[in-house]
Structure 1
């Protein structure tokens, strides 16, 4: 059994006044937009926090030196980038752009960034945040003289996707420097009904998981920011919190997938081309911690999984498990980069047949369990034990090595998950269609 992280997940008393005001703003936005049924709501477009800021809340940043953490996803529905809109806004002094992993323009591959440079269109200097810890980010905030920092990035809903940890590091930096921090909320593209999967053991904290949250957190970046700032930031900053404001969306409901928002999809990173990718990535992102290819270097990353030693038996075995909401096809592919570049490998392609029933983390655990059972020592973990950072502890790796089945492995994290869900519920800003807050 994985060591419990429950002690780190206790809610820290009543929510702050700022948090309660933000919840009230979200409720007002929901009431204004309406709580229609599923079909009616699907025909109306969600308004992002960026839109709400530009249309109604520029008072938050007028007369201030403003920085923004963003990337190609920080756009308006007309495809104009928020940086361009802010640079043109009357009374707004945009002095710094901060780029996360993959860079402000999103051109770098995983584990890379674009460096620092001047944005030609606006003339604003772009600073590279990737690889910088909170102290280095705090120094950048001081160097640029920003009074307020905006965060506007489309997340994909998975703990090991690094943008939320750039936000966490920047929140800590803001707490240390007294800088205002404003999160412009965006949808969780894979929905926000439930959290799933193992909870990070704080002993395994890294840039793919700073705080003890579930692998599928089921929250928006705004909700996460509220929770981070209330519970985890003070633990690392001597009790200080950032001066945080969340600008909520209008018209987003927890049971929405991204296609229902009416918003344009922009790749959050080079290997996240579609919402379908984001859905499977919640689980098959774990494959990065093995010697199986996770499909990088193909046109279907994270939907294709394979290795030179894999044959038709893996798809047959997995399809025979009757996992909910997914089927498997025997597949062969030759990645153009990353693992097995230029080599033809055998494997599987996942087909999600029912998103509401699909359990991406159980599915990924099943893939690894069956690969271990079928191919023995040919199936291996990455030598740096990256799998432990991705799953949040050594529990999944050691359980698979010990020959445990999927049900037993999944059962092993339920206590920690229940504790996280109890904490998570305190910071949810949005409801289900029909009025319920969560399920």
Structure 2
């Protein structure tokens, strides 16, 4: 039985119900918008208010769309509601979309990495809610990485994109509610913001310790361990290596047709990286990079999460592959219409540049501390 209540669970019977009763409400949500008993947030809000419209982030309301795929607006026959896409022609509701609303609600389980686009859907929607002069409510959810991990490099404004639109490190150690408060004050959004808190959660908890059900927040994050490795292995998206899409272990398996997996695993394990071991793998992706091609590479195995550093491990993995295959590793993958490469937008710096922004990360931690809701 779960000892933790996410915001949607705590909402029922709480004083926060008064923020919704009798109001016209729009809900930004997806497949993770569930109570711990698997009731949808849509059905919960339907009982409390006039829930008139739904908004879908990347991957869609049902979580079926692959990364980067446009999501269409449509009428959902199961919820009997119009769903407006926020991952197609636009990235936030328009003023026209919300002109009849009193409240805009956000309920999506995030995974705590800066690259994950849901937080930018929230941020941009907060700005629109401010412009429309309506309340913005975040139904808070646990940080699946645990709330104490903060590492990586800050994203410079010059490289802002929809995979990194906030001045935060790769892993920022905040729930979406805490991050909403951060954006509201530090980035001067100044929306009429309400956060319905989590109950029973402590920052040091692993996701497994919460007792909450794991619902895949996107098609290629099948487990909490994947979410942890993703903090580093997402950078592989900016290279010509497969990050394991099209296998049953996305973001755990890394490889390419030109790699000798046995030799790569041997070389990486000689580095004795804390908490992580590498196993040679042979695989053929069913879609995405190297679809239908026989690949070799490594699977990253975490045997001590608290000691492991996935981001550092991936930088070392890339340097090792560059050393072994200097003419075959490519990081010059373009990104939409940007003059900068995809790797740069993910990492917050060009591949060739070593970042030394520890002081900026310390400064971020100091700012962050003002908005933490949980101990």
**TM bracket, shorter-chain basis:** over 0.9
Partner of 1:301: 250
1:340 aligns to 2:290 (yes or no): yes
- Bigger relative contact order (CA 8 A; separation at least 6): 1
Q: 1:391 aligns with which of 347, 351, 354?
A: 347
Q: 2:42 aligns with which of 83, 91, 94?
A: 83
1:313 aligns to 2:259 (yes or no): no
TM-score normalised by length of structure 2: 0.95
SS of aligned partner of 2:106: strand
User: 1:135 Cα deviation (Å)?
Assistant: 6.8
Q: 1:95 aligns with which of 40, 52, 60?
A: 52
- Asked whether the equivalents of residues 129 and 137 of structure 1 are also in contact (C-alpha less than 8 Å), the reply is no
1:141 aligns to 2:98 (yes or no): yes
Partner of 1:405: none
Cα distance in 2 between the residues matched to 1:294 and 1:139: 39
1:48 aligns to 2:6 (yes or no): yes
Cα distance in 2 between the residues matched to 1:259 and 1:109: 26
Partner of 2:277: 327
User: 1:65 Cα deviation (Å)?
Assistant: 0.4
Q: Please give the per-residue CA displacement for 1:178-208, whole angstroms capped at 9, x wherever unaligned.
A: 1210000001111111210011001111001
Misfit runs of 4+, over 6 Å:
none
Check 1:349–1:138 CA distance in 2 against 1; reply closer, same or farther (3 A cut).
Answer: same
Cα distance in 2 between the residues matched to 1:159 and 1:391: 9
- Asked whether the equivalents of residues 333 and 343 of structure 2 are also in contact (C-alpha less than 8 Å), the reply is no
State the superposition RMSD in angstroms: 1.4
Structure 2, unaligned runs of 5 or more? 335-340
SS of aligned partner of 2:10: helix
Partner of 1:129: 86
Cα distance in 1 between the residues matched to 2:116 and 2:174: 13
Cα distance in 1 between the residues matched to 2:344 and 2:243: 17
1:67 aligns to 2:26 (yes or no): yes
Partner of 1:120: 77
1:201 aligns to 2:160 (yes or no): no
Q: Please give the per-residue CA displacement for 1:243-288, whole angstroms capped at 9, x wherever unaligned.
A: 0001110001111111111111100000011111101001000000
User: 1:121 Cα deviation (Å)?
Assistant: 2.8
Q: 1:109 aligns with which of 66, 91, 100?
A: 66
User: 1:119 Cα deviation (Å)?
Assistant: 2.1
User: 1:139 Cα deviation (Å)?
Assistant: 3.5
User: 1:132 Cα deviation (Å)?
Assistant: 4.9
Cα distance in 2 between the residues matched to 1:200 and 1:187: 23
Cα distance in 2 between the residues matched to 1:231 and 1:420: 10
Structure 1, unaligned runs of 5 or more? 1-42, 235-239, 400-408, 432-439
Q: Please give the per-residue CA displacement for 1:273-322, whole angstroms capped at 9, x wherever unaligned.
A: 11111010010000000011000000000000001111122111111111
Cα distance in 1 between the residues matched to 2:352 and 2:127: 33
Partner of 1:9: none
TM-score normalised by length of structure 1: 0.81
Q: 2:241 aligns with which of 288, 292, 295?
A: 292
